[in-house]
Structure 1
Amino acid sequence: MEIKRKVLAYITKDDHAGRKILVFEQEGNPEAGLQVPGGTIEEDELLIDALYREIEEETGIRRDQLQLNGKVDKKNYFPENRKNVIHERNVFHLTYIGEDENEWDTCVNSTGKDNGMIFHCRWMPVNDLPALAAGQDELIDFII
């Protein structure tokens, strides 16, 4: 069994309407579903560096625009399309402290398979959150 180490980011902000979480969808790829930032930890990369790298690649949000609240949990996920792989997900909760935008598009600039993809990012009330792709919402109760 192959283990792929991953990070997931629950990025929240509070406003007059309550707590919101940052989600995104891939332009032109609706079957990918609604997601939170995350991805694979590269070889010899520190867990925390992978977290901030993935957030910036997928959302454009920089490290200095975030406050790390802590690690929520580690949860294994078994992708349906890859029976011999376990995704070891390290889930973090962060608070957005940057300037407010309700939604925006980010073009991924990386050396990975997401390079060139456009992600439509937006804030969604945590209490109204539908199921996220690939079980990414399994630990969401820790931040409500």
Structure 2
Amino acid sequence: MKTRRKVLAYITRGEEPDWEILVFQQKDNPEAGIQVPGGTIESDELIIDALYREIEEETGITRENLELKGKVIKNKYFPEHKNKIYERTIFHLSYIGDNDEKWEYIVKGDGKDEGMTFCHRFVPVDQIPELAGNQDEAINFLT
């Protein structure tokens, strides 16, 4: 069975316990659910480079506006509908850029999301809605 390596970014702002976390929805496909930035690690790519690349491609936030807090969790999961093993590593980063409340961003890069518009916002960590694809599996490890 093939393994696909993925990264996810829990990007927070503010001070604990009042953290807010960055989430987004696809403007033209809201049924895809609420998500956090993340994606596939390319075969020749370092995990940390994939993390920052995915964040910038999906949000427009550059590395200079983030402070890496650490790795939250690494696990494997096995979607029943796919013949693959997914290895997901979730990182916690702090947003230190301008405090925009909401913004839209057209996805860059050459992946399947290229050209889509993502609508971003920060929500309180303790009020985070259910995330698509079980992306909220490690939220409790932030506090």
Q: TM-score, normalised by structure 1?
A: 0.95
Match of 1:92 in 2: 91
1:34 to 1:80, Cα distance in 2 relative to 1, 3 A = farther
Structure 1, unmatched stretches of 5+, are none
Match of 1:74 in 2: 74
Q: For structure 1, which segment, 15-24 or 88-97, has the greater mean C-alpha deviation from structure 2 after superposition?
A: 15-24
Match of 1:114 in 2: 113
1:93 to 1:15, Cα distance in 2 relative to 1, 3 A = closer
- Partners in 2 of 1:80 and 1:33 — Cα distance? 19
- Partners in 1 of 2:136 and 2:125 — Cα distance? 10
Deviation at residue 119 of structure 1 after TM alignment: 0.4
Q: Which runs of 4+ in 1 moved over 2 A?
A: 77-81
Q: Deviations over 1:112-136 (max 9, x none)?
A: 1111000000000110012100000
Deviation at residue 16 of structure 1 after TM alignment: 10
Q: How many pairs does the alignment contain?
A: 143
Amino acid at match of 2:69: N
Q: TM-score, normalised by structure 2?
A: 0.95
Match of 1:34 in 2: 34
Q: Do structure 1's residue 140 and structure 2's residue 139 form an aligned pair?
A: yes
Preserved CA contact (<8 Å) 1:79 1:134: no
Amino acid at match of 2:92: H
- Partners in 2 of 1:79 and 1:106 — Cα distance? 29
Structure 2, unmatched stretches of 5+, are none
SS of the residue aligned with 1:18? coil
Match of 1:50 in 2: 50
